[in-house]
Amino acid sequence: MLVSQHYGRFIDTLCWSDLPCDVQEKTLDLVSDWIANAAAGFDSKMGKALLSFVPLQKGKGTSFILGNLQEADPLSAALINGAASHALEFDDTYRSGLFHPGAPVISASWAAVGIKNPSGSRFLSSVAAGYEISMRLADTVNPVHNQKWHTTGTVGTFGAAASASMCMGLSAVQAAGALGLAGTQASGLWEILPDFPEAKGLHAGKAAQSGLLAALLAKQDVFGPSTIFEGSRGFFNAMVSEHVNIKTCCEGLGDEWLLTRTTIKAYPVCGHTMTSIEAALKLAKGLNFDEIEKIEVRVHPVSLGIAGNPAPKTELEAKFSIAFCVALALAKRKVTMKEFSAEALSDPTILTLISKIGLVADDSLGGTESQRPAKVSLKFCNGRVRSETAKIRKGDPENPLTGQEQKSKFLILVDDVWGRKMGETVFGAVRQLHQYDDFNTWLNENIFPWQKKIQPSARSMGRNNL
């Protein structure tokens, strides 16, 4: 059986009741986290730019944009919500696959709801299907693929097609055909870094939109090649420079649930900076910065390639700078959205600390390209040295956010967008979504009543509280 056919059968047969309790709970966590990121990221540079030329369409049965609760055609909603949910670098991530699954996968399903109203459990199952398929693909092609291709843009397109296909009730044959069409659209090059990080959001948005488009076409029995993965000019051969073990992309599907290994981030930064932040925070207490002569940060070579920018010029570039993030952690003893500001970029203390930082690529720390330890060493003027190493990031499966920490993150992200009361309502409502026979009823009870209360003046999202 071809990979696309295997995936099509999985999409066609998966039910919410098939998911173990921990997988169901994690799916709800991931949807909550995505909603908050999509709502808050609407005010990003990319979000504003996309919204400025995408025509909004009023009317029943359409999709909508989370940041301002305004209706839009499904393809536009997928694009904007997908880009917005990846814009703040606070969305979920899959460590071993070098991949952000939520932005493309959930954005596509959320938009598909406007085309065919599913049950809450079917929507959630479609999210799980998109995660399971795309995470396996990410593991199969990486780390080689991610050296040049942005996995969220490429593999994310398949995940989006899978989730949208299930959400709209496509057959196994149609779902396989949608994956074939998704593969012909998969894209996203790493040439965007370090100077154009905003384009990462576009990759996620296009993946969501392209995956949804593939599912819409397949619903009309317009298919792509069934050999899209293993064909001589298919995804594996075209976008991976080394041999791919095709068996790995289907192993354990429906039995081993990879989505439980997703990281829900504790810090609004590129994942390649997070262990450096953890190590720096351990060292931050009681420091006299004048006594520090030199700071050495040892990281995996891949991390240095992605986040080695020593002199970020914008708030978003700062999130892709190990040097800035370490200096910020040492200076402020915390790393939140509030700290990524124009003031921080010119803060004398942070700039002085950055000038003392030396970044070293070191694969002897252990770990892999997906699990990237970091070691931060402070050398003081008196010759004393203090060092800390971090292997696991807060939010990783081994050290997950607590339920209260997830709720706090959600509420702070959406506070300037929707207000506290709506945030509380939506966060609680997500936990009940699987009980609804149709998704629109859930929206009508928990989202749409707030539309008139979200005034244009309240949509400027300062994000200064996180």
Task: Give the per-residue pLDDT at 428.
Answer: 98
Alpha-carbon gap, residue 455 to 69, rounded angstroms: 10
Among left, alpha and beta (phi > 0; psi -120 to 50; other), residue 221 is left
Residue 4: count of CB within 10 angstroms of its CB: 30
Among 237, 261, 285, give the residue marking a domain's end: 261
Residue 448 lies in a domain: no
Task: Give the per-residue pLDDT at 66.
Answer: 94
Alpha-carbon gap, residue 288 to 103, rounded angstroms: 41
Alpha-carbon gap, residue 163 to 159, rounded angstroms: 6
Residue 427 lies in a domain: no
Task: Give the per-residue pLDDT at 369.
Answer: 62
Q: What is the tally of structural domains in the chain?
A: 2
Contact (Cβ atoms closer than 8 angstroms) between residue 284 and residue 330: yes
CA angle (178 as vertex; 176, 182 as ends), nearest 5: 120
| Residue 360 tokens, joined | 């070293």
Q: Across-strand partners of 377?
A: 296, 387
Q: Which mean pLDDT values do the consecutive 10-residue runs of the chain (466 residues) have?
A: 98 97 99 98 91 63 84 93 97 96 99 96 99 98 94 99 99 99 98 91 98 99 98 96 88 97 97 97 94 96 90 94 98 94 96 98 79 94 97 95 98 93 97 97 94 54 36
Task: Give the per-residue pLDDT at 71.
Answer: 86
The model carries a pTM of: 0.94
Task: Give the per-residue pLDDT at 55.
Answer: 62
Task: Give the per-residue pLDDT at 287.
Answer: 93
Domain check: are 323 and 193 in the same one?
no
Residue 62 lies in a domain: yes
Alpha-carbon gap, residue 58 to 260, rounded angstroms: 37
Domain check: are 153 and 15 in the same one?
yes
Single-letter code of the amino acid located at 241: S
Residue 443 lies in a domain: no
Among 219, 242, 261, give the residue marking a domain's end: 261
DSSP 216-236: HHHHTT----TTTTTSTTSHH
Domain check: are 84 and 194 in the same one?
yes
First to last CA, the chain: 48
Contact (Cβ atoms closer than 8 angstroms) between residue 236 and residue 230: yes
Residue 45 vs residues 83, 88, 200, 297, 346: alpha-carbon distances, Å: 10, 10, 12, 31, 21
Alpha-carbon gap, residue 330 to 354, rounded angstroms: 10
Task: Give the per-residue pLDDT at 372.
Answer: 85
**Can you point out the beta strands (E) in 335-454?**
357-361, 374-380, 385-390
